[in-house]
């Protein structure tokens, strides 16, 4: 149980997803860490540029690194012969998140294949020698009830001590930006149910998670102005701000929506103005590894 001082303090994890996806993503993450606010990155162990990402991570040991679990819109660790109902002939998962989520929930025959793939990605991460700071999922697939059940069962075997819990204060998000407000409200209803399902299970398993998060509803548009407004009214406790900060290149453009302003997010994280706001407010920058210390 956390102390009252810990609950009242404001601690901030600043993270970026898709580490290992491409050289542009890798360079952006390292720049945001070395020159900016970034404290954590989520590694795609099957990403085309994962070898370079690992070199960068080993050269910057203060950067926390977690597993970015990919079970849709990306490549698998196992071959199609091992998981024939999950991937296509290119060994890629479906690009349709809603249909994929429905299949994973209503087709129990897929669960053994999902568990094999999740185990394979965890084993690939552990083989890097990096400390596993936490687990999250591409498009938050780790919150899918079927996937979450598997992760909780595997957590003691693979040293999983923390998960991202996408519990975003939608009222605050909407006060700061009404961009696509209808989508944000729909997401908020969906993820409120998923969080209500997941949170007691995480507590029972002894897994840690941030108190709140920003990045779900404003994904790809975490601009300097948006982040400045969030920082000015950051709630007490531990908050995660997750981004897709990077330099744009062909591989990242292939997978990310056209409206994502990834380079704008990188500029925000390296902004002296945001650094000054963090310092002036007495906000402590931490990584997931410190959350579980």
Taken as a whole, the chain contains a residue count of: 293
- Quote the tokens at residue 214: 């920003």
Cβ contact 285:37 at 8 Å: yes
Average pLDDT over residues 200-223: 97
> Would you state the pLDDT for residue 110?
98
pLDDT digits (tens, 9 = 90+) for 147-169: 999 999 999 999 999 999 999 99
CA 117-102-150 angle, to 5 degrees, is 35
Instruction: State the pLDDT confidence band at 293, using cuts at 50, 70 and 90.
Output: confident
> Would you state the pLDDT for residue 168?
97
> Would you state the pLDDT for residue 3?
53
Cβ contact 284:9 at 8 Å: yes
Q: Where are the domains of the chain?
A: 4-291
Phi-psi category of residue 19: left, alpha or beta, with phi > 0 → left and psi -120 to 50 → alpha:
beta
Average pLDDT over residues 205-228: 97
If one looks up domain 4-291 in CATH, what number appears?
A: 3.20.20.370
Instruction: State the pLDDT confidence band at 4, using cuts at 50, 70 and 90.
Output: low
Residue 6 has pLDDT above 70, yes or no: no
Residue 131 has pLDDT above 70, yes or no: yes
Contacts of 273 (CB under 8 A, 6+ apart): 224, 228
Distance CA 213, CA 242 (A): 8
Instruction: State the pLDDT confidence band at 8, using cuts at 50, 70 and 90.
Output: confident
pLDDT digits (tens, 9 = 90+) for 103-123: 999 999 999 999 999 999 999
> Would you state the pLDDT for residue 292?
83
- Mean pLDDT of the chain, nearest integer: 96
The residue among 120, 112, 127 whose CA lies nearest residue 76 is 120
Q: pTM score > 0.75 for this model? A: yes
Least confident piece of the model among 7-11, 48-52, 93-97, 133-137: 7-11
Angstrom distances, CA of residue 66 to CA of 7, 46, 108, 207: 24, 14, 28, 14
Unique residue bearing structure tokens 């952006």 = 28
Residue 230 has pLDDT above 80, yes or no: yes
Residue 259 burial by Cβ neighbours in a 10 Å radius (0-12, 13-18, 19+): exposed
């Amino acid at each position: 149980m956390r102390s009252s001082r810990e609950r009242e303090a404001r601690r901030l994890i600043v993270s970026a997803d898709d580490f290992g996806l491409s050289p542009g993503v890798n360079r952006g993450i390292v720049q945001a860490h070395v020159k900016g606010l970034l404290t954590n990155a989520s590694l795609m162990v099957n990403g085309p540029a994962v070898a370079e990402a690992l070199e960068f991570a080993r050269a910057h040991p203060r950067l926390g690194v977690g597993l970015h679990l990919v079970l849709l819109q990306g490549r698998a660790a196992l071959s199609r012969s091992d998981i024939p109902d999950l991937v296509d002939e290119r060994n890629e998962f479906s690009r349709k998140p809603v249909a994929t989520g429905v299949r994973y929930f209503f087709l129990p025959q897929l669960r053994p294949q999902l568990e094999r793939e999740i185990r394979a990605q965890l084993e690939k991460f552990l083989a890097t020698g990096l400390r596993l700071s936490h687990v999250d999922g591409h498009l938050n697939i780790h919150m899918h009830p079927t996937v979450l059940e598997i992760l909780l069962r595997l957590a003691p075997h693979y040293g999983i001590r923390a998960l991202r819990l996408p519990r975003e204060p939608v009222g605050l998000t909407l006060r700061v930006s009404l961009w696509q407000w209808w989508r944000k409200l729909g997401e908020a209803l969906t993820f409120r149910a998923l969080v209500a399902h997941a949170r007691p299970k995480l507590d029972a398993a002894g897994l840690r998670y941030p108190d709140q998060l920003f990045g779900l509803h404003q994904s790809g548009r975490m601009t300097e102005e948006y982040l400045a407004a969030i920082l000015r009214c950051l709630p007490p406790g531990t908050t995660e701000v997750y981004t897709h900060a990077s330099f744009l290149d062909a591989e990242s453009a292939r997978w990310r929506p056209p409206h994502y302003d990834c380079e704008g997010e990188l500029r925000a994280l390296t902004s002296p103005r945001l650094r000054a706001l963090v310092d002036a407010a007495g906000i402590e920058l931490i990584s997931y590894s410190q959350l579980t210390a």
